[in-house]
Amino acid sequence: MTPDLLIRGGTLLHPETETTQSADVLIQDGLIAEIDTDVEAGPEVPVYDATDRLISPGWMDMHVHLREPGFEHKETIATGARAAAAGGFTDVACMPNTDPPIHTRDVVEFVRERAAETPVGVHPIACVSKEREGKELAELADLADGGAVAFSDDGAPVQHAGLMRRALEYSTMLDCPIVNHMEEKTLNPNGQMHEGEVSARIGLDGIPGLADDVMIARDIELAAFTGGHVHVAHISTARGVELVRRAKARDLPVTAEVCTHHITLTDAAVEQSGFDTNTKMHPPLRSAEDVAALKEGLADGTIDALCTDHAPHAAFEKDVEFNAAPFGITGLGTAWGLIGRELIEPGVLSVAEAVQKLTVAPRRILQLDPPTLETGEPAVLTIFDADTRWTFTEDHVHSKSQNTPFLGDELVGRPWAIYRDGELVQNEA
């Protein structure tokens, strides 16, 4: 516990107004007690030197898989929270494809109790359907009462349009979005990677971008019909971006997130890496045209939030033939450095815009109050920079798994610490 702390010499970044301010921050009992230049504190108060560093409200990754209960060999809530903190995230929303799935109130409460032992805020996303089977609606009101912030059958789409319609009708009463894993499964029953030139050449079954686009188009119409909030999980296609752009122009309750790996790599990585199973994820790495469109969608505001879809798998599970490997990679530790390298350095987003998509945007989508850097408020903040060049190695892995294609990559921008719940969690230089 570090309930009191003086953060000296940093620059505060307020994402809502995109303004900065050089000031010290005094935290007392976990609350922001003072923001000013040259704040004085007693000799007993620990000092964090934030010279040349930025301080923003705490970041949130609204799409992670923490694997507990049921798959603790991949990740636990404790190790996932540690990985989140190391990545600069004070909060995460976790997906319900656990065992048992987060489909009853007691599982929601189990996740929240486990999370309370960590310094990171863990916000459960509960299942749309019982057993995550896509057949019968889960008890959405009870799940929301238990603390679920949204509903999703992620890992699988809500394939059944009638079920999605009913879920959206409920969601309007509960003020929770339905987060759909956008994929029309019948278009890609055996797909292993993006369907295109590369998959044809190397002979792997493809997942067409069309699978995502058809589902996004369906759900936009369901959002228009029901008034329910559809959130597009891990958008990956150019056409999908265009569909969301048009939905927003119609003022429909449709929002979208993009994963850091989808703006970084293309399907070429599958071939170039020699079928590295850490290039296999759902949705798959797509074409260069898709990546360009995702960046455009971020820049013009079509895509609201940045996320990781952190999906840990044990080495023995990923260290198999490409066709047999599970989908997904870890993402919490590399997120900010990839955003710096792929979005900020090339000028796609400003630092403030990128931080907005990690702070205000995900919480607005999930109807949570974004933390602010103001006196009297709980201290929930991330300390980082946007220009340190560093190499991501095994030493930086805090997740229980290290299934990432980015080991050895040079990243730009470093998360240094988070503060939340009266606790400072720091990364070593």
Question: Residues in the site for Zn ion, rule: CB under 5 A?
Answer: 154, 181
Closest among 281, 243, 275 to 261, alpha carbons compared: 281
Active-site residue among 153, 290, 309, 385? 309
| Residue (183 or 267) nearer to Zn ion, CB | 183
| Residue (68 or 154) nearer to Zn ion, CB | 154
Give every CB contact of residue 234 below 8 A, 6+ residues apart in sequence. 63, 181, 182, 257, 258, 259, 262, 283, 307, 309
In the complex, which residue's CB is closest to Zn ion?
Answer: 181
Closest distance of CB 360 from Zn ion, Å: 23
- Residue 424's φ and ψ, nearest 5 degrees, are -100, 130
Closest distance of CB 329 from Zn ion, Å: 12
The single residue listed with the structure tokens 């002979």 is: 203
| Residue (26 or 62) nearer to Zn ion, CB | 62
150-151 and 230-232 as β-strands: parallel, antiparallel, unpaired? unpaired
- CB 127 within 8 Å of CB 154: no
- CB 192 within 8 Å of CB 171: no
- CB 305 within 8 Å of CB 362: yes
Closest distance of CB 182 from Zn ion, Å: 8
| Residue (121 or 328) nearer to Zn ion, CB | 328
As given in the structure block, the two tokens for residue 93 are: 């929303």
* Cα 228 from Cα 189, distance rounded (Å): 29
Q: Is 290 left (phi over 0), alpha (psi -120 to 50) or beta?
A: alpha
* Cα 240 from Cα 232, distance rounded (Å): 9
How far are the Cα atoms of 74, 213, 246, 286, 397 from residue 243, in angstroms, in the given order?
Answer: 35, 8, 5, 17, 36
Long-range own/partner contacts, residues 127-131 (CB < 8 A, 24 or more apart)? 127/96, 127/101, 127/102, 127/103, 127/151, 127/152, 127/153, 128/152, 128/153, 128/158, 128/163, 128/164, 128/167, 128/178, 129/103, 129/153, 129/158, 129/163, 130/103, 131/101, 131/103
Q: Is 275 left (phi over 0), alpha (psi -120 to 50) or beta?
A: left
Closest distance of CB 156 from Zn ion, Å: 8
Kindly calculate the radius of gyration of the chain based on its CA atoms and give it in whole angstroms.
21
Q: What is the DSSP letter of 404?
A: -
Closest distance of CB 364 from Zn ion, Å: 21
Closest among 43, 9, 39 to 26, alpha carbons compared: 39
Active site residue 309: yes
Q: Which positions are annotated as active-site residues?
A: 309
